Amino acid sequence: MATILIVDDHVLNRQFLMVLLGYSGHRLMEAADGVEGLKVAGARRPDLIIADILMPNMDGYEFVTRLRAMPGVGQTPVMFYTAAYHEREASVMALACGVRWILPKPSAPELILRTVHEALGLPHHAELPLEATHPPAEVPRLAEIDSQLNEYLVELETSSHMVSKLAQDRSAPDTDLQGLEQGVQRLSKALSSLQAVSMRLTALIELGIEMAAERDPERLLSIGCRVVQEICLARYAAIGMLDTGDTRLKHYVTRGIESAVRARMAVPAPHGGVLGEVLAARAPRRIGGLDGDPRALGLPESHPPVHSLLAVPIASQERCFGWLYLADKLGADTFSEVDERAAVTVAAQLAVIYENLALYGEIQRQHVQLRMEVEDRKRAQEALRKTLRARTVMAECNHVMVHARDEKSLLQDMCRTVVEAGRYRMAWIGYTDPKTGEVTRAAEAGKPAPRASHVRTAQFDPLAQRPATSGNRSWMVIDVPAGAAEEAGTDADLDMAVSLPLRDQGKVFGVLTIYESEPNAFDSEQIAVLEELADDISYGVTSLRTRAAREKAEHALRATEEKLSSILDSIDNVVWSADENRFLYLNSVVEKMYGRPVSAFYRRRDLWFEAVHPEERMQVRRAHAGLARQPTFTQEYRIVRPDGSVRWVEERARAIRDRNGRLLRIDGIVIDISERKAYEARIEYLADHDALTGLANRNLLGDRITQAMAQARRSGTMLALLFLDLDRFKGVNDSFGHALGDALLLEVSSRLAHAVREGDTVARQGGDEFIILLTGVQRPQDVTAVAYKIFDTFSQPFHIGNHELFVSTSIGATLYPTDGDDMQTLLRNADTAMYRAKEERGNAFQFYSREMSIRALERAELESALRRALERDEFELFYQPKVATSSGRIIGAEALIRWNHPEMGLVSPTRFIPMAEEIGLIVPIGDWVIHTACAQNKAWQRAGLPPISVSVNLSARQFRREGLVESVAQTLQDLDLDARHLELELTESIVMNSAEHFIRKLKEFEDLGVQLSIDDFGTGYSSLSYLKRFPLHHLKIDQSFVRDIATDADDAAITSTVISLGHSLNLKVIAEGVETEEQVAFLRDHNCDEMQGYYFSKPLPADQFACLLQQA
C-alpha cells in the first residue's frame, strides 16, 4: 500500500480521511497546516498528498508551490480537498500549481477512494457512476439557511422514493435505466448540498460554544477570526478591539496573513479609512473591484493586497468595541449579502461575550483589591510585631557589644542574646574563607545546633549561607526542606531562615544566620533591623581586630625600622637626615662614597661641606641654607676624597615641617653620578670628534676653517685644505672585514696626525676620506711638501694583526682665498682635485684647477646616467669565444658588459665598472649580467646551436652578498638551463681573502653544478694550501703574462709554471689576451687547454656571435 500525507487545519476532516483511507490499508500521516506539511513531506517522502486550500500560516496554493521546489519530493502527486472554492476557481488554482485532482467537501466516500487510487495508479475495485459534488451557491439571505435545509431534505426523500421504485420494477425497459441514473445523481447532489449547509451551521454553533466558554480575550478573538474567515470564504480576516479610551487598539488578531508579513506590518489606525467609517456609522461596509493597494482603505502599506473588503463593527447597544474585516473573497470578485449577514452574526456574538468578559474582569479586580486590603492590614500588624521583636534583640545585643573583651566571647554572647531575647529557634555565626568558599562555625546558640565543626558553604545553600557570603546581601529561605536541616546536622523543624552578611569595608568575611520554626517568620522590616544587628556585630569584630592589629603593628614597626636601617646600609646611595646642627641618621654607604667614617660626620656637621670641592663648596652651603625658605633642592657637585680622588654626586634634600611650618628636620639622599658625568663628557666630545679615530669631525672642522679664514684675512696669508682618500680601501673591507678596516683607519689617523704641525687640523670626513686644514700657508710649495710627507709616511707597510698591508692615498688640495672664499666651495674643489689625483692610480697629488670642475661635472653626469642605465635597458652583453687548444673548436664564451649610452655611445667598462663598485650599483648590474647571459645561452640552444659554457665575472661585493647561490639557482631553474653551461669567474684576490668563508660558498656552487674559475691568476697572492681545497674547474692566466711570452723569458716561465700547476691540481688552464701566432704556438707546445683573445675573435654582440658559432 502507499504512504499518504493529509494536510488540513480541521481535525474532523483529517480524522474522516484517516478512517476512510485506513480501511484501504494505506500508511497515513497528517499535518495541521502547510508549514507543518512541508516538514513532514521532506522527512517522510509520501506517495500522495491530500491538501486543503484555505489554511492558516500557509494556504494550499503556497504549500504546493514550495513543495515543487523541494528536492526529492517536488514531483509528488497532490490532490486538493476543499470546501472553500467552487469548481471553476479551484480548477484554475490547481492548474497554476500543477495539481491534477480536485475533491470538493463533501464528496462521496466511493469517489474519494476512486480518485485516490487513480492518483496512485492503483486498479479500481468498482466503477461508480457518481460524480464529484460541489458546494451549493450562496443563498441571498443567511436567515433562509433553515428553509434551504428543509428543501434539501424533501429533495433527498423524493429522490430516494424514485430510485426505490425503479429498482423494484425489474422488467422496466432499458430506457428506464437512464431515469435510474438521474435519480441516483439527484440523490448525490442533495446529500452534498445538505453537507455544505450543515458545515456552515456547524461552524456557527461551534463558534457560539467556543466563545461562550472562553475567558481569554485574545483567544476569544482568534476563534471569531477563524470562524468568520471559514464561513465567508475570505483569504484574510482581522479583528481589532479598542482600549478603554477608544483611541487605539488594545487587541489586534489576524488570520491568513503570513507570520513574516505580520511581523513587519504596522497595526492599522483604529479610526482611519474605511474601518473608521464603520466605527463611526456602526454599520457594515462591502467594497469590491479594488486595485489591491491597502493604503486606499486606510490599511498599513505592508498589508497584503486587497481586492475586495467586508468590514463590520463589533458593537453592543451602549458601546462600539471595535471592528472586524474580511479581505479578498475566494472564488468571487466581492463578498455577498450572505457573507455580510454571517459576519454581522459573528460580530454580534463577539460583542456580547467581549462585554461580558470585561464585566467579569472588573468584578475579579474588585474582589482581588478587597482581599489585598485585608491581607495588608494583617501583614502590617504582623510586621509591627516582628519589628518590635527585632528591636528588642538589637538593644540587648548592643549592650553585650559594649562590654565585649575578645572576639570569641563577643560572638558567643551575640548568638545567645539573639535566641534568648528574640525567642528565635537557633542562631549561628560562621566565618568564610574567600579562597576555598568554606564556612567555619565560630559561635552558635539554640537547640539543636549544627553538629559539624565546619562545613562547605554548599551544604548550607538551602539555609541561605551562600547568598549572604557570596552575594554581599541578606537572603531568606522560606519553608526550609527537612533534608537540608538533616544535612546541616540538626533534627529540628526549621521552616524559615534568614542569612545576613558580616562585612568589613564592603567585603563579606562571615555570616549570621537566624532560624525559626514558624513559616513567614521574617519580613523586610525585621530583616532591615537584623541587618543593622549584623553591621553592629561586624563593627564589634573589626574593632576588636583593629585593636589587636594595632598592637601587632606597633611590634612590627619596630622590627621594620631595624630592617629599614639594614636596607639603607646595603644600597649604593647615601641616605641622611639632619636638623640644623647635627646628623640624625646617616647610613654606612657614606664611608664608601666619601672615604670618611660615619662617626666623623656625626661628630662634626661641617665635615659634610668640607668634603665638597672648593669651587662648589659655597653653593652647596647656600642650597642647604635655602631649605629654610623652599621645600626642596637638587644639586650636582664634586666631592674630594681623602686620597685626592674626585667624584661627581647629585644631592637631593627635602625640608620636613610641622603643621605650623616650623622646620623639624632635613631628609636627603646623595647619588654617585661619576659614571654619568663621564658619559656626558664622552657625548660632548663626540659632538666634535669622530667616534672611531678621535679626529675632528665635520662640525669641529667647520669651526676651525671659519676661524682660520678670519685669521688669514687679517694676516694676509693663505690656508689650504687637503682632501685624502685611501686607494682600494673598499677591497680591504670586503676581503678582511670591517674590524680590520677600522683598525687600519686608526693607524692611518695616527700617521696623519704626526705628519702635520701641531696647529693644523686632521679631520675624518667619513669612510676612508680625511681632510687636513693647514694654516699660515705662505706659498703653494708648503702644501706640496706636506702632501709628499704624507706619501712618505704611507710608504711603510701597515701591520694590522697578522696582516701586512700597503696603503696608498690620493690627495687633492685647494687654497684660500684663491680657490674659494667659503668652506663648502673649498671642500668641493678639494674633493674634485682628489678625484683627479685618483685617476693617476695611487699616491698622486693634485692642486685644484677650474678645468677639474668641468671634469667633476662630467663625472657627476656619468654617475647620474649610470644610475638610470639599467632601468633604461642601455647595457648590452658582448661575447668573446673560448677555443680548445687541441681542436680549435669554440667550446665557450666570456660575457663582457658594454654600456651603450644614447649620447656618449659605447662607454668603456674601465670608466663605469669602478664607478658602479663605488656607488653600490655593481650588485644589481651583476645580477642582470648573470640572468641575461643565461637567457642568451638558452636561446642559442633552442635555435639548434652547439651547447657551450658562458662565463660571467663576479665582483667581490657581489660574491659576498647573502643569497647569491639561491639567486643563481632560481635563474637557472626559471630559464631551464643546465648549470654546467654557466661558469663564474672570480679574481684571485676575492677568493684568497677570507678563504675559509668562501670555501663554503664555492662548495654550494659546486653542488649546484656551476663551473668555477680563478681569473687573472698570478696577479695576486695565492696560497697553495687553500687553492687545492677550492672546488675549482679552471685557472685563467692573466693577459699581462701572455702578452710577452714569445719575447720575455720571465713571462714564459710564469705561464708554463701556471699551466703545470693547474694540471697538477686537475684544473683546466685558460690563457686570455692571445693575439699572435707565436703566442698560440707557445701555449699549444705547453699543453694549455683553452685560449681566448683577439687572435680568434674580438668580443661580439649576441647575433654576430651566434653566426660565428654556427660557422664553427
Residues 735 and 671 in one domain: no
- Domain for residue 194, yes or no? no
For the segment 598-618, the average pLDDT, to the nearest whole number, is 93
Cell of 12: 474532523
Looking at mean pLDDT, say which of 495-504, 684-693, 968-977 comes out highest.
968-977
Instruction: Evaluate whether 64 touches 97 at the Cβ level (below 8 Å).
Output: yes
Residues 1092 and 993 in one domain: yes
Pairing of strands 663-672, 890-901: unpaired
Residues 670 and 749 in one domain: no
DSSP character string of 416-484: HHHHHHH--SEEEEEEE-TTT-EEEEEEEEESS----SEEEGGGGGGGTHHHHHHHSS-EEEES--HHH
Per DSSP, helices labelled H in 523-673 are 524-570, 589-594, 598-603, 607-610, 617-625
For the segment 494-499, the average pLDDT, to the nearest whole number, is 80
Residues 120 and 27 in one domain: yes
CATH code, 710? 3.30.70.270
Last residue of a domain, one of 118, 135, 152: 135
For the segment 258-287, the average pLDDT, to the nearest whole number, is 92
CATH code, 644? 3.30.450.20
Instruction: Evaluate whether 267 touches 238 at the Cβ level (below 8 Å).
Output: no
Lowest mean pLDDT segment, chosen from 213-227, 527-541, 883-897, 1021-1035 = 1021-1035
Nearest-angstrom CA–CA distance, 208 and 728: 116
> What pLDDT does residue 202 have?
52
Within 10 A of 726 (CB to CB), how many other CB atoms are there?
A: 21
Residues 715 and 829 in one domain: yes
Last residue of a domain, one of 643, 659, 679: 679
pLDDT 10s digits, 349-371: 888 888 888 877 777 788 888 88
- Domain for residue 970, yes or no? yes
Specify the number of domains making up the chain: 6
Question: Does 263 have pLDDT greater than 80?
Answer: yes
Cα 368 to the chain's mean position, in Å? 59
pLDDT 10s digits, 549-603: 887 777 776 666 656 665 665 578 999 999 888 999 999 899 999 999 999 999 9
More confident residue, 447 or 530: 530
- Domain for residue 206, yes or no? no
Question: Does 1068 have pLDDT greater than 60?
Answer: yes
Nearest-angstrom CA–CA distance, 388 and 393: 9
> What pLDDT does residue 30 have?
94
Nearest-angstrom CA–CA distance, 977 and 232: 90
- Domain for residue 160, yes or no? no
For residue 897, the cross-strand partners are 877
> What pLDDT does residue 475 have?
61
- Domain for residue 187, yes or no? no
Say how many Å lie between the first and final Cα of the chain, rounded.
Answer: 94
Nearest-angstrom CA–CA distance, 435 and 457: 12
> What pLDDT does residue 986 have?
86
Kindly indicate the confidence band of residue 180, based on its pLDDT and cuts at 50, 70 and 90: low
For the segment 932-957, the average pLDDT, to the nearest whole number, is 93
- Domain for residue 723, yes or no? yes
Per the structure, the complete domain to which residue 797 belongs is given by: 689-848
More confident residue, 901 or 450: 901
- Domain for residue 624, yes or no? yes
Residues 786 and 639 in one domain: no
Residues 1075 and 1105 in one domain: yes
pLDDT 10s digits, 847-902: 987 766 566 667 777 888 888 888 889 999 999 999 999 999 999 999 999 999 88
Preceding peptide of 106 cis, ω within 30° = yes
More confident residue, 629 or 473: 629
Question: Does 487 have pLDDT greater than 70?
Answer: no
> What pLDDT does residue 627 have?
87
Nearest-angstrom CA–CA distance, 180 and 159: 10
Residues 414 and 517 in one domain: yes
**Nearest residue to 695 (alpha-carbon basis) of 771, 757, 795, 756:** 771
Contacts of 373 (CB under 8 A, 6+ apart): none
**What is the residue type of 1100?**
L
CATH code, 1029? 3.20.20.450
Residues 20 and 102 in one domain: yes
CATH code, 75? 3.40.50.2300
pTM over 0.75: no
pLDDT 10s digits, 727-757: 888 878 877 888 999 999 999 999 999 999 9
Q: Grid cell 689625483 — which residue?
A: 837
Report the share of the chain in percent with pLDDT over 70: 83
Rg (CA), the chain: 58
Residues 1089 and 1000 in one domain: yes
Report the share of the chain in percent with pLDDT over 90: 41
CATH code, 256? 3.30.450.40
Residues 1044 and 930 in one domain: yes
Kindly indicate the confidence band of residue 488, based on its pLDDT and cuts at 50, 70 and 90: very low
Lowest mean pLDDT segment, chosen from 13-27, 365-379, 489-503, 998-1012 = 489-503
Within 10 A of 193 (CB to CB), how many other CB atoms are there?
A: 22
- Domain for residue 373, yes or no? no
Last residue of a domain, one of 135, 156, 188: 135
Residues 1054 and 934 in one domain: yes
Pairing of strands 982-987, 1011-1017: parallel
**Nearest residue to 295 (alpha-carbon basis) of 260, 262, 314, 269:** 269
Kindly indicate the confidence band of residue 636, based on its pLDDT and cuts at 50, 70 and 90: very high
Q: What is the 3-state secondary structure (H, E, C) of 867-895?
A: HHHCCCCCEEEEEEEEEECCCCCEEEEEE
More confident residue, 189 or 42: 42
